[in-house]
Amino acid sequence: MDILSGATVSTLYLVLLILGLIYALFLLFSGQFGGGDADLGHGDLDLGHGGMDHGDLHVPGGDHAAGGEDRTGLSPISPFTIAIFVTAFGATGLVARGLFQASERPSLIWATLGGLIVSTLAYIGFTYLFIKPQGSSEVRVADLVGIEAEVITPIPAGGLGEIALVAQGGRVTYSARTKDGAGLPAGQVVRILRILGGVAYVESIKEI
């Protein structure tokens, strides 16, 4: 008995279409794209000891960015692209069967090609329309070194406090310590010397 009967294949396409669409919508609205850990559903990130206020400024990590871990990117093989492939596979199969009267096996070929094409276009579209613009607003370590910031949580001698600064149009906060281990009060203006592991090393540049 041939398991690739017309009814069986059409039912398979319909089930895959529904399941893929539901899963893709879930991933889209939850922001859990997976693979490259791309998070498009939230307005802030917290990497290490660095934080963000509501300036909607993303601070991705990486060897050249403040924070450590690179979280910007969507993998070609991720839950989201797989969900798109499954959805497009089912939709293309139904179109091939219903509109073009394709038999079972040719419709499987068309469904596979349709899934690959649509999932590839979805990957390219999300990468260049959503994720690449995020990367263009990254706050790099090189951009932060040498700029002024304000102590918002007192830095105790030999300990950690917190500083705030404005970069790329957003207000960024970092855990901070002084280069010589001296304490600084809240309101002190400082200069950032370097950022390691999400901690900014600063020096005082004027008295409050």
User: What does the alpha-carbon distance between residue 175 and residue 68 come to, in Å, rounded to a whole number?
Assistant: 14
Task: Confirm if 67 and 47 have CB atoms less than 8 A apart.
Answer: yes
CATH number (domain holding residue 170): 2.40.50.140
Identify whether residues 27 and 85 lie together within a single domain: yes
Specify the pLDDT at position 36: 46
Residue-range definition of the domain harbouring residue 170: 141-206
The total number of structural domains in the chain stands at 2
Identify whether residues 146 and 200 lie together within a single domain: yes
Identify whether residues 152 and 95 lie together within a single domain: no
User: What does the alpha-carbon distance between residue 180 and residue 113 come to, in Å, rounded to a whole number?
Assistant: 62
Identify whether residues 125 and 145 lie together within a single domain: no
66 vs 112: which has the higher pLDDT: 112
How many angstroms separate the first and last alpha carbons of the chain? 86
Residue 198 phi/psi, 5° resolution?
80, 5
Identify whether residues 97 and 175 lie together within a single domain: no
Given 116, 136, 156, which residue is the final one in a domain? 136
Specify the pLDDT at position 198: 83
Specify the pLDDT at position 177: 94
Structure tokens at 167: 């970069």
pTM over 0.85: no
Q: What DSSP state is assigned to residue 184?
A: B
Structure tokens at 55: 């300036």
pLDDT above 50 for 123: yes
Specify the pLDDT at position 34: 52
pLDDT average, residue stretch 141-151? 86
Structure tokens at 43: 């307005």
Specify the pLDDT at position 30: 78
Residues above pLDDT 90, as percent of the chain? 44
Identify whether residues 120 and 168 lie together within a single domain: no
